[in-house]
């Protein structure tokens, strides 16, 4: 179909009509849902073939073999073979129901119809000839979505705790930084942690692949009941925050079959709609920050692992990587019933074993596929919430609104049952029977709400443990975005979709407001001091005060936790070159805002703040926009082509880690990375329509009219409107 306005193709059960809407997003009209998803596969294959097959090649650990045999891609392949997402997909596929398998197969047939015999020029450059898309590839991509930014974020946080204890950060300091770390930290455990062998980074430093895979690391969603809207009907809003790239990860689409319709954001490679609006319901998700993985310590002797007083053989999986123009590499990966060992047990001693609940308890992906297809048919919020409970392949904060003015929230996740006293943040001793997992926490015990009295529900990756009887979320993100959303909604009435657009683009920082209460009385009577004293805590491109605040904030972080903790150089790397600080800044903020803290040592909080203020205000301020320039890169060429070719786009990424439209900025593997609201959707049940915008377009073809078609509107805060009738 490329850039054509419309065409018709034959589906499995009838004719399918394809047409283009705003930003090139397709409208797919068919007789049955299966044929509508056949059409979705056809359009994914037409517009995003490169994105899909890159995910497939990377997910299977074949990047150095199929694309380029450089060291970066070899490191990625080693990690992906260790992770074995392809093996997990193969395990889950037979568990998918017969009906769901037919639906997946219809989508796969559409993909292969569109891509048959086609080799994009990017792949011609590398000599890669794409094979057929399969049902197993669908589950592979879903597994990648579940791991990157979700399980990965939790695992990195737990690994950081281990490394802090290995490097003699006092346990009391660690527990203050991670308040859900309720476990005792005995001296003998610290001794064992220092003796660990084969420990590795959870993600290799060369993380070029992470720009291709959607990481729901930070997002917002909310629903408002009719008692607070101008129409008297519910309004639903979503703005998932992912890395910026061209094309964007999201692929918006309208599906129509019989008397049904669904508009929503899809991920090419998978026939599901994680954020959408149908005739009766609207739904979406944010990252749920639930703890779905643990590290276990394995006691290894003569290549065997201990359980109680007995020793057992590992299952050894051999993987061969065949990089282009290089000798093959053979990996031996050691696994047991708990998880996958880090390193090869060539010496006796202690090793880390990473356990993921979805791998220990198979069936979560098959259940999730069934839940996603159920959402496309759901008629009300209660039914949708039952579908949410099945979506346990990843931790998700799911919100729904319906045409009968019901609103609800449900955390869905595969949270393991741990022994009493185990938070999940400290590694467990695998040889002790009492430390073993005891199944999964039932969905009914996870945080949830339905038609709350305040008339709205919202999530922003914040702590929702108060809505349940257990602490499923052990490393929630900061509450700053959630607090700002809650303030704006709770103080307002008679909301309209236009009001929701204003909230989507509101750049007042609740974090800055909290810190400025301490900073303002300590400011000197200088030009910079007066400029910052008068700041309204709103980030804008031309703001000078916003830049001064950012300088003070990062001086505080690097002084208190660097000079007085990890070392300033380590803290600077963690802040600027990984996404770990981007996810955990709320933990650091909570310490800095306390009047007294172990991290302050013998000094007062005000002493630390005064020192940071003095250092930060020494130099002239810069315009905020000049400090936030970001090159949004083509996902394949990654900024390597000349600017005049137009594959990339420079923007000013306005805001901060704490503004509703999150503006995180850091480097991974030497490449710029970011979090941003790459897709926004607003729908009022007063009408059969949606408003949305997109940080790019529908096509991954640079010279398509739909490559950057939505980017200008996204930057300007304008929304397209689609009438679904």
What pLDDT sits at residue 550?
97
Measured CA to CA, the distance from residue 178 to residue 169 in angstroms comes to 13
Measured CA to CA, the distance from residue 634 to residue 639 in angstroms comes to 7
Asked if the model's pLDDT at residue 204 lies above 70, the reply is no
CB 91 within 8 A of CB 361: no
Q: How much is the average pLDDT of 183-202?
A: 89
- Averaged pLDDT score across all residues of the chain: 93
What pLDDT sits at residue 4?
63
Looking at mean pLDDT, say which of 600-609, 660-669, 672-681 comes out highest: 600-609
Phi, psi dihedral angles at 573 (to 5 degrees)? -65, -45
pLDDT in tens, 63-106: 999 999 999 899 999 999 999 999 999 999 999 999 999 999 99
Q: How much is the average pLDDT of 499-521?
A: 98
CB 12 within 8 A of CB 35: yes
Instruction: Band the pLDDT of 667: cuts 50, 70, 90.
Output: low
What pLDDT sits at residue 20?
96
* Percent above pLDDT 70 for the chain: 96
- What is the torsional sign of CA 456, 461, 466, 470? positive
Asked if the model's pLDDT at residue 565 lies above 50, the reply is yes
3 state DSSP class of 495: strand
What pLDDT sits at residue 202?
46
Domain edges within the chain: 510-627
What pLDDT sits at residue 210?
44
3 state DSSP class of 312: strand
Q: Where does residue 434 rank: exposed (0-12), middle (13-18), buried (19+ CB within 10 A)?
A: exposed
Residue written as token pair 């439209």: 661
Kindly calculate the radius of gyration of the chain based on its CA atoms and give it in whole angstroms: 25
What pLDDT sits at residue 2?
60
Q: With the CA atoms of 351, 353, 354 and 360 taken in that order, what torsion angle do they form, in degrees rounded to the nearest 10?
A: 180
List the one residue out of 589, 585, 576 whose CA is nearest residue 674.
576
Within 272-346, residue ranges assigned H as helices are none
CB 237 within 8 A of CB 226: no
Phi, psi dihedral angles at 483 (to 5 degrees)? -65, -40
Q: How much is the average pLDDT of 488-509?
A: 98
Q: How much is the average pLDDT of 148-152?
A: 77
CB 438 within 8 A of CB 486: no
Phi, psi dihedral angles at 189 (to 5 degrees)? -70, -40
Instruction: Band the pLDDT of 206: cuts 50, 70, 90.
Output: very low
Give me the sheet containing 281-287, strands edge to edge: 6-10, 15-20, 26-30, 251-257, 260-266, 275-278, 281-287, 396-402, 407-412, 448-450
* CATH of 510-627 among 1.20.1250, 1.10.287, 1.10.8, 1.10.1400: 1.10.1400
3 state DSSP class of 477: coil
Asked if the model's pLDDT at residue 605 lies above 50, the reply is yes
- DSSP tag of 268: T
Measured CA to CA, the distance from residue 95 to residue 367 in angstroms comes to 8
- Cβ burial 552-576 (10 Å sphere, 16+ → b, else e): bbbbbbbbbbbebbbeeeebbebbe
What pLDDT sits at residue 208?
43
Tell me, yes or no, if the pTM score tops 0.85: yes
User: Which parts of 606-688 are beta strand (E)?
Assistant: 629-632, 649-652, 664-668, 671-677, 679-684
Q: How much is the average pLDDT of 445-474?
A: 97
Instruction: Band the pLDDT of 168: cuts 50, 70, 90.
Output: very high
CB 557 within 8 A of CB 588: yes
What pLDDT sits at residue 1?
61
Measured CA to CA, the distance from residue 120 to residue 687 in angstroms comes to 41
Taking the mean position of all CA atoms in its chain, how far away is CA 519? 32
CB 277 within 8 A of CB 264: yes
């Amino acid at each position: 179909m490329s850039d054509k306005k419309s065409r018709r193709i034959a589906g499995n059960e009838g004719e399918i009509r394809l047409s283009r809407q705003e930003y090139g997003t397709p409208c797919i009209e068919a007789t049955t849902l299966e044929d509508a998803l056949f059409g979705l596969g056809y359009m994914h294959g037409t517009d995003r073939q490169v994105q899909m097959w890159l995910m497939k090649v990377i997910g299977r650990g074949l990047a150095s073999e199929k694309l380029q045999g450089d060291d970066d891609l070899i490191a990625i392949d080693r990690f992906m073979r260790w992770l074995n997402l392809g093996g997990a997909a193969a395990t889950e596929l037979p568990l998918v129901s017969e009906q769901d398998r037919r639906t997946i197969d219809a989508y796969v047939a559409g993909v292969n119809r569109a891509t048959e015999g086609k080799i994009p020029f990017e792949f011609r450059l590398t000599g890669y000839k794409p094979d057929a898309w399969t049902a197993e590839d669908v589950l592979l991509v879903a597994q990648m979505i579940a791991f990157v930014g979700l399980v990965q974020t939790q695992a990195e946080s737990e690994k950081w705790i281990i490394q802090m204890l290995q490097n003699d950060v006092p346990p009391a300091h660690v527990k203050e930084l991670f308040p859900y770390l309720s476990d005792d930290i005995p001296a003998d455990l610290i001794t064992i942690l220092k003796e660990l062998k084969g420990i590795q980074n959870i993600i290799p430093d060369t993380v070029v692949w992470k720009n291709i895979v959607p990481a729901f690391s930070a997002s917002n969603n909310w629903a408002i009941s009719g008692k607070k809207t101008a129409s008297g009907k519910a309004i639903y809003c979503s703005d998932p925050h992912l890395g910026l790239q061209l094309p964007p990860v999201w692929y918006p689409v309208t599906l129509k079959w019989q008397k049904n319709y669904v508009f929503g954001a899809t991920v090419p490679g998978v026939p599901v709609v994680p954020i959408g609006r149908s005739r009766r319901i609207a739904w979406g998700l944010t990252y749920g920050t639930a703890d779905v993985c643990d590290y276990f310590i394995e006691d290894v002797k003569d290549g065997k692992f201990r359980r109680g007083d007995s020793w057992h053989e590992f299952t050894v999986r051999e993987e061969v990587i065949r990089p282009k123009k290089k000798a093959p590499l053979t990996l031996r990966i050691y696994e047991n019933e708990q998880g996958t060992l880090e390193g090869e047990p060539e010496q006796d001693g202690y090793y880390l074993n990473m356990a993921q609940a979805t791998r220990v308890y198979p069936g979560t992906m098959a259940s999730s596929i069934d839940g996603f297809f159920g959402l496309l048919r759901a008629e009300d919020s209660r039914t949708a919430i039952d579908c949410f409970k099945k979506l346990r392949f990843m931790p998700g904060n799911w919100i729904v609104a319906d045409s009968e003015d019901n609103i609800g929230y449900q955390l869905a996740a595969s949270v393991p049952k741990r022994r009493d006293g185990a938070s999940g943040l400290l590694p467990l001793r695998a040889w002790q029977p009492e430390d073993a997992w005891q199944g999964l926490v039932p969905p009914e015990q996870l945080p949830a709400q339905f038609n709350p009295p305040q008339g709205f529900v919202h999530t922003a990756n914040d702590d929702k443990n108060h809505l349940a009887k257990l602490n499923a979320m052990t490393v929630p993100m900061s509450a700053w975005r959630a607090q700002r959303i809650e303030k704006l909604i709770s103080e307002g009435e008679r909301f309209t979709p236009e009001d929701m657009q204003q909230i989507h683009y509101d750049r007042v920082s609740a974090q800055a407001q909290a810190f400025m209460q301490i900073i303002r009385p300590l400011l000197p009577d200088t030009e910079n001091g007066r400029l910052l004293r008068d700041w309204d805590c709103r980030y804008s491109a031309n703001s000078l005060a916003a830049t001064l605040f950012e300088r003070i904030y990062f001086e505080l972080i690097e002084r208190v936790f660097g000079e007085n903790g990890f070392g300033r150089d380590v803290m600077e790397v963690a802040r600027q070159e990984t996404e770990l600080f981007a996810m955990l800044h709320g933990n650091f903020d909570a310490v800095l805002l306390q009047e007294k803290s172990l991290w302050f040592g013998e000094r007062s909080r005000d002493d630390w703040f005064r020192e940071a203020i003095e250092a930060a205000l020494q130099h002239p301020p810069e315009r905020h926009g000049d400090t936030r320039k970001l090159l949004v890169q083509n996902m394949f060429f990654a900024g390597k082509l000349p600017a005049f070719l137009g594959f990339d786009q420079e923007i000013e990424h306005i805001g901060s880690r704490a503004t509703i439209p999150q503006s995180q900025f850091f480097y991974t593997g030497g490449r710029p990375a970011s979090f941003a609201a790459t897709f926004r959707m607003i729908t009022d049940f007063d009408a059969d329509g949606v408003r949305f915008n997109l940080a790019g377009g529908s096509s991954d073809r640079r010279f398509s009219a739909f490559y950057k078609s939505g980017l200008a509107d996204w930057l300007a805060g304008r929304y397209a409107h689609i009438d679904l009738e």
